[in-house]
Chains A and B, each alone.
Chain A
């Protein structure tokens, strides 16, 4: 029959045999990999520190821990947690069987351990295999997520952008108004229609019409602030939302500047093109709060009033105009789009 010490050497690479005096008599072959001098002959409690469930100070106290799971560490490698079992050797000494537990992944990296440093019956190779396979699969998963996220952001941008002019679209306007409605920010809405655009489109063709819309978008971009939301709401309808801008003088100057620049004759595809613009303005004020849809509707009412009073001009909404197009007389409302 094989002796106990030879059996331990054959099958347990991380065991420690301690004599009655508390000195180490034998260690498993993998201890030499852990960057410490051969601990044989040293006092066990000077090489190892037992952390849980108790801190024994003598051999008898150590043997009293038999049957319990110990948490311990090498004093030379305090960062590396070990766990193990104490067995009373019935000759006033003790035998400890140790393992790295979950710290095995770090231990393999740190000490360059190999399959031979572990018992063949140990599941450590499966654990390492899983750890590596999991990392690879996670990397593939992250890369898929990154690509999907990029595609999502691009689709979201597309969904909020007017393809022709690169301005925002009505969907973006609805989102921005909903956010403004939730905040305390005051703002102005400028609703702008082009005058004589329909004639240009009908007589000079859609490509000239498209070029006109792009030119108007460029003018709107150049005359507004970074924070303003610029929207082509459809056809020849444009909307500018100006957060924090409620000063009548500055809004007047902005509206007049837009109308002046848009009304200048332009040469497009070798054709002289002259259009105009009308603008209605509604301003939200803290003192009389109402929802953004009401302001949009008021800006629309002011726009029709501007068109009715001769086009090529802007008007601020006033309470005398009413809150909706139904409050205006019908012939004026029908003049839209001319």
Chain B
């Protein structure tokens, strides 16, 4: 599994709860690694073990940790490039949702070897979206919920997002876009360049 995924979990736990909590969780997990590099590959079996260890150490559900991790990726200054790359998806939050089918492909373009679950978006009723995520890492849907909630804020859009669990092997997310000009759009300029980097 791509090191960026592990590195992101490490960065999130360290930034949000302190490096000590990360060290405790890693020690508890009994894995032979204490710190992860973004540009190396690791055994995919490590991820659920680490996530469980973090959840026990922080006394939070794994789904809550993953959701907060998604929001962290968009809002934390260290990952400003992730927000920018997401904004390439569209001018409005709804356009961004419609671009999510391309997310795994775009991610592979950005970082070859970084495989994300297959994402399928439908808008059966205007402004009511259903997103299906199929594949590993399991729990990616929770990350997507946190990430999209933060992106809705970024666009100044009021939206309600809900992880509806797993059906037929796919994580289901429902999104209701309520108000598109709810708050100020944080803005996005193609010309802006930011030094921040992934991971």
Give A residues with C-beta under 8 Å from B. 108-115, 125-126, 128-130, 132-137, 139-141, 143-144, 147
A-B pairs with beta carbons under 8 Å apart, 26 shown: A108-B190, A108-B191, A109-B191, A110-B191, A113-B190, A115-B91, A128-B190, A129-B85, A129-B88, A129-B106, A129-B109, A129-B110, A130-B109, A132-B85, A133-B85, A133-B106, A133-B109, A133-B110, A136-B85, A137-B197, A137-B198, A140-B4, A140-B38, A140-B39, A140-B198, A141-B39
Are A140 and B190 in contact (CB-based, < 8 A)? no
Are B197 and A136 in contact (CB-based, < 8 A)? yes
Name the prevailing secondary structure of the A interface residues: helix
Are A114 and B189 in contact (CB-based, < 8 A)? yes
Q: How large is the interface on B (under 10, 10 to 19, 20 to 34, 35 or more residues)?
A: 20 to 34
Rounded to whole Å, the gap between the CB of B57 and the closest CB of chain A is 26
Which B residues touch A125, using CB under 8 A?
88
Which B residues touch A108, using CB under 8 A?
190-191
Name which residue of chain A comes closest to B80, CB basis. A136
Assembly CA distance A132 to B196 (angstroms): 11
Nearest 7 pairs of A and B residues by beta carbon: A133-B110, A139-B197, A136-B81, A129-B88, A144-B39, A136-B198, A136-B197
**B40 on interface, CB distance cutoff 8 Å:** yes
| Docked complex: B184-199 residues within 8 A CB-CB of A | 189-191, 193, 195-199
Are A136 and B110 in contact (CB-based, < 8 A)? yes
Are A137 and B191 in contact (CB-based, < 8 A)? no
Assembly CA distance A125 to B199 (angstroms): 23
Rounded to whole Å, the gap between the CB of B78 and the closest CB of chain A is 11
Are A115 and B110 in contact (CB-based, < 8 A)? no
Assembly CA distance A130 to B102 (angstroms): 13
Which B residues touch A112, using CB under 8 A?
189-191
Are A137 and B88 in contact (CB-based, < 8 A)? no
Question: Interface code B165-199, partner A: CB below 8 Å = 1, 0 otherwise?
Answer: 00000000000000000000000011101011111
Rounded to whole Å, the gap between the CB of A149 and the closest CB of chain B is 13
Are A137 and B193 in contact (CB-based, < 8 A)? no
Which B residues touch A135, using CB under 8 A?
197
